[in-house]
């Protein structure tokens, strides 16, 4: 049996100065991977593999997830920082992300599929979607952002 990540379930602690700290914020319980970026990406955008690359570069280069009618199966996660062509960015591939690009009005508890309607933005998953649900919305989406939990889109190894 194998497992990855920390399994520390305390909610608060104190730092060396005696200040209370929120441990879920500190540990996030998420998987972050670094990718090459091939275009303008904003923090919170869903990103996908860049098929314009060749050979194995396709598996390590991302762009803003494009509009695909029934969901974008190439999605690997949510960008945690802004990026431009030629830079590298951190991408959350599993776990908790605040302020991810999600269509306004998507309710908490709703599974989501990525990049349908607006590049880089997720919307509610529907039965007709071919791509699997990328995650679940944790807060009502307002202003096209919401906190989400990603199911583990890319490999954690």
Three-class secondary structure assignment of the chain: CCCCCCCCCCCEEECCCCCEEEHHHHHCCCEEEEEEECCCECCCCEEEECCCCCHHHHHCEEEECCCCCCCCCCEEEEECCCECCCCEEEEEEEEEEEEEEECCCCCCCCEEEECCCCCCCEEECCCCCCCCCCEEECCCCECCEEEEEECCCCCCC
Q: Does residue 155 lie within any of the structural domains?
A: no
| pLDDT at 8 (0 to 100) | 57
2: pLDDT strictly greater than 50: no
Query: Across the chain, what does the average pLDDT equal?
Result: 87
Q: Does residue 91 lie within any of the structural domains?
A: yes
Average pLDDT over residues 58-70: 92
Q: Does residue 17 lie within any of the structural domains?
A: no
Q: Does residue 2 lie within any of the structural domains?
A: no
* Domain count of the fold of the chain: 1
Q: Does residue 132 lie within any of the structural domains?
A: yes
43: pLDDT strictly greater than 80: yes
pTM: 0.83
Domain range for 118 is: 32-150
Q: Does residue 26 lie within any of the structural domains?
A: no
Lowest mean pLDDT among 22-36, 102-116, 130-144: 22-36
123: pLDDT strictly greater than 50: yes
């Amino acid at each position: 049996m194998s497992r990855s990540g920390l399994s520390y379930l305390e909610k608060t602690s104190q730092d060396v100065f005696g200040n209370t700290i929120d441990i879920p914020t500190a540990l996030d319980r998420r998987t972050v991977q670094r990718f090459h970026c091939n275009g303008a990406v904003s923090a919170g955008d869903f990103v996908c593999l860049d098929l314009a690359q060749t050979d194995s570069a396709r598996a390590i280069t991302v762009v803003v997830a494009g509009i695909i009618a029934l969901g974008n199966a190439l999605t690997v996660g949510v960008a945690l920082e802004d990026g431009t062509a030629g830079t590298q960015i951190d991408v959350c591939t599993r776990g908790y992300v605040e302020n991810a690009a999600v269509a306004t009005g998507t309710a908490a508890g709703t599974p989501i599929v990525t990049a349908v309607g607006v590049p880089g933005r997720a919307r509610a998953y529907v039965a007709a979607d071919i791509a699997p649900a990328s995650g679940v919305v944790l807060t009502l989406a307002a202003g096209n952002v919401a906190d989400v939990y990603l199911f583990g889109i890319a490999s954690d190894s």
